[in-house]
Amino acid sequence: MKTNNKLLKGFLQNILADEKSQNTADAYECDLKGFINYISKEYHNNSITLDDADKTFFQNITLEQLNDYKNRLFEDGKSPNTRSRTVSALKQFFKYLHKTAKVITENPTEELTKVKIPSRNPVILNKNEAEKFLNSVTGEYKVRDSAILTLFIHCGLRLSELIGINLNHIKGDVLTVIGKGNKQRDIYLNDSCMNVITEYLKVRTEIEGEKALFLSEKNQRISKSRVEKLVKKYIGISGLDTKKYSVHKLRGTSASLMGKSGVPIQVIQKVLGHTNINTTTIYVNVDEESMREATRINPLNKISR
């Protein structure tokens, strides 16, 4: 948190206390700084600095000014996702000023419309591509890397969750994951996961005091950047597009493969740690054949009148 603005800092602290991620707080901070600077420039001749934007500054914000900024983002070529996040940041910030900080009597963002994001199919690996990816592992750290890729594909872990796994987080076939907002969830490991972890533990160097499951070449907890690089490496070896696929795409792949295998969407939601089931539905498509099968297996199907 880099801001010295008291109201903005209070909002960001509130965001983190509400179990939002640091990445979300950082993005909102950037969005709101951009908005404050725009209002200062367009309506105050740059006479108000970011740190000087006080309750009087925000009390004078109107819906018209908010829409002006929203339109400016569009004119500047900002993506729908960026504009949508900015509107969300504005709505939550002014709600905080109104309901929590109580420095404004009316919330001008209540009538600020959301940005529509065009629907698009998620970029994920299909079953054959996922198999090629898992079979692409080679090199000196093959056993470790195989375990990492397998957990990504089978468990749908976030990058931060994978590197945060400690040895004591695995008990039998249960992996305890520390997710967003420091929330814990248990994931049951299948045979493939158990096998690769067992093999990796045979070669993992014992370092006194080091609790991390996955170690780097320097025998320290492996970093995000190192995992991202090795994932890109094996995507390339698999013959896939390294610009198209990433660590996060493996998470979507995991959700999609579970869905195609008949796993209920509510279960997939819990495995991935999604707060909102709508996020899960992005990756789980229900096709016509699945719907036909659902009616066919109804236990009352054989009853006729």
Give catalytic residues, as residue numbers. 158, 180, 248, 251, 274, 283
Buried b vs exposed e over 233-252: b needs ≥16 C-beta within 10 Å?
Answer: bbbebbebeeeebbbebbbb
Work out the number of other CB atoms within 10 angstroms of the CB of residue 15: 21
Task: State the DSSP code for 243.
Answer: T
Phi, psi dihedral angles at 39 (to 5 degrees): -65, -40
Alpha-carbon distance 221 to 189, whole Å?
22
Three-state secondary structure call for residue 301: coil
Helices (H), the chain: 6-17, 22-44, 55-59, 63-75, 80-95, 127-134, 142-155, 159-163, 191-203, 224-237, 247-260, 265-272, 277-281, 288-296
C-alpha of 266 from chain center: 18
